[in-house]
Amino acid sequence: MLEASLKELEASARARIVSASSAQELEAVRVEVLGRKGVIAGISKQMAGLPAEERSAVGRHLNAVKRALEAEFAARQAEFAEARLAARLDTEWVDLTLPAPGPRPGRMHPITRLQCEIEDLFLSMGFAVLDGPETETEYNNFDALNIPRDHPARDAQDTFWLKGETLLRTHTSPVQIRGLAKLKPPLRMIAPGRVFRNESVDASHEHTFYQVEGMMVDREVSIAHLIYYMKAMLTGLFHREVTVRLRPGYFPFVEPGFELDIHCLICDGAGCPVCKQSGWVEQMGCGLVHPNVLRMSGLDPDVWNGWAFGLGLTRLAMMRYGIDDIRLLQSGDLRFLYQF
């Protein structure tokens, strides 16, 4: 009886394995026939009730059927795997003879690009480019610039104070003090670099940003010289005439002092978050060098005078490239940087 069942099982299982149309259907046949609770396992349990003389013959036949079906199953399984691989190769084909794409080229940061242009402009006009430390002394950052002890800029709300009388420089003007000590007048210099302010961050304010300071010291220097060089710089940067305005402004290191505003190039004067809906963006402070600054640098203000300016390089980059949020410049977002 079991012998006949085994022959019928083998023929039926072979037909189902051959006709299976998918790997899932083939696996279902395997579980049903060869699984732990499959047909062959059930026949194996029935052998315990057979006489001893029949049990040996049925056992040999059962093992032969099992091995034959396992071989059939493995062969059919290999066919499905080969078909899957062929389909994958068709869809994922790669031409290995093509050259490798190579690394993606880098991009220069918009502030770095603008700083290089400013340096080139002033170098062409006979200015030296100086650099200084970002960790400064209180004397160079405040005292030597005629900033009094009770000035609000010294408060913790504006300045990042370090140990002792050191701080993170709040402007690049300390490089002017170092330049006056290093160079002898007449002199022309600019000092680009990173500065730090303890400010709340929004679309137009950052705690870390970039400035460019400039100074010219000679025997007969006037506001006319200042206006000429500022117009030359802005024309060279924007490659067109820009609308500017001068407003009286107080800075302890210049007298008289001015605020130079530039017509907002983001909204063309209509009002936006960058210009605080005013149509104008404060671009720089400037004026004639205060006599006290010259005296503290060992120069006689009756013989020497000069002009100085401090330019917000970060805000200038926003105007130049139409960036409406200052936070993007230090976000490290490659999607933003790859636009430049």
Write the pLDDT tens digit of every residue in 254-265: 999 999 887 887
Cβ atoms of residues 188 and 127 within 8 Å: yes
pLDDT for the residue numbered 66: 80
Write the pLDDT tens digit of every residue in 298-327: 999 999 999 999 988 888 888 788 888 888
Count of Cβ atoms closer than 10 Å to residue 132 Cβ: 19
Query: Position of tokens 């210009």?
Result: 275
The single-letter DSSP state of residue 161 is: B
Segment 59-76 mean pLDDT: 81
Q: Closest by alpha carbon to 120, among 237, 279, 278?
A: 237
Evaluate if pTM is beyond 0.75.
no
Cβ atoms of residues 305 and 217 within 8 Å: yes
